[in-house]
Amino acid sequence: MRHPDRYFDADPAVRGVARALYQQTAALPLVCPHGHVDPEILASGRPFPDPAALLVIPDHYLLRMLYSQGVPLEDLGVPRLDGKPVETNPRKIWQRLADNFFLFRGTPSDCWLRDELAGVFGIEEQLNGRTAMDIYDRISEQLARPEFRPRALFERFNIEVLCTTDAATDTLEHHRAILDSGWRGRVLPTFRPDACVAILSPAWRGEIERLGSLAGRDITGFGDFIAALENRRTFFKSMGATATDHAVVEPYTAELSPEEARRVFARALRGEATEADAHAFTAHMLMEFARMSAEDGLVMQLHPGSWRNHDPWVFATFGPDKGCDIPVATEYTRNLRALLNKFGRCPGFRLVLFTLDESTYSRELAPLAGHYPALRLGPPWWFHDSIQGMVRFRERVTETAGIYNTAGFNDDTRAFLSIPARHDLSRRVDASFLAGLVARHIIELEEAGEMAVDLACRLARETYNLGK
Residues 6+ apart with CB under 8 A from 69: 100, 103
> Side by side, which strands form the sheet with 351-353?
166-167, 191-192, 243-248, 299-304, 351-353, 375-377
Distance CA 46, CA 429 (A): 34
Other CB atoms within 10 Å distance of the CB of residue 84: 9
Kindly report the backbone phi and psi dihedral angles of residue 375, in degrees, each rounded to the nearest multiple of 5, phi listed first.
-100, 135
Predicted local distance difference test score (pLDDT) of residue 1: 75
Question: What are φ and ψ of residue 163, in 5° steps?
Answer: -100, 130
Report CA-CA distances (Å) from 108 to 113, 390, 419. Answer: 8, 11, 13
- 104: Cβ–Cβ under 8 A, 6 or more apart, which residues? 62, 65, 110, 113
| DSSP codes joined into one string, 132-192 | HHHHHHHHHHHHTSGGGSHHHHHHHTTEEEEE--EETT---HHHHHHHHHT----EE--EE
Strand ranges of the sheet holding 159-163, from the earlier edge strand across to the other edge: 30-32, 159-163, 187-188
Q: Per-residue b/e over 286-316, b at no fewer than 16 CB within 10 Å?
A: bbbbbbbbbebebbbbbbbbbeebebeebbe
Run of H or E including 326: strand 326-327
Instruction: Give residue limits of the domains in the chain.
Output: 12-47+149-463, 48-148
Superfamily of domain 48-148: uronate isomerase, domain 2, chain A (1.10.2020.10)
Least Cα distance to 116 among 336, 415, 388 occurs for: 415
Non-local (6+) Cβ contacts of 45 within 8 A are 149, 150, 151
- Which residues share a beta bridge with 304? 248
Q: SS3 for 251? A: coil
pLDDT at position 467 is: 87
Measured over all CA atoms, what is the biggest interatomic distance in the chain, rounded to whole angstroms?
67
- Written as tens digits, the pLDDT of the chain (468 aa) is 789 999 999 999 999 999 999 999 999 999 999 999 999 999 998 999 999 999 999 898 999 999 999 999 999 999 999 999 999 999 999 999 999 999 999 999 999 999 999 999 999 999 999 999 999 999 999 999 999 999 999 999 999 999 999 999 999 999 999 999 999 999 999 999 999 999 999 999 999 999 999 999 999 999 999 999 999 999 999 999 999 999 999 999 999 999 999 999 999 999 999 999 999 999 999 999 999 999 999 999 999 999 999 999 999 999 988 888 999 999 999 999 999 999 999 999 999 999 999 999 999 999 999 999 999 999 998 899 999 999 999 999 999 999 999 999 999 999 999 999 999 999 999 999 999 999 999 999 999 999 999 999 999 999 999 986
CA distance 423 to 427: 6
CA angle 402, 407, 408 (to 5 degrees): 85
| Cβ partners under 8 Å of residue 103, min gap 6 | 65, 66, 69
Q: Which of 68, 67, 74, 72 is nearest to 89 (CA)?
A: 74
- Architecture in CATH of 12-47+149-463: Alpha-Beta Barrel (3.20)
Amino acid at 15: R
Distinct helix (H) and strand (E) counts, the chain: 21, 11
> pLDDT value at position 468?
60
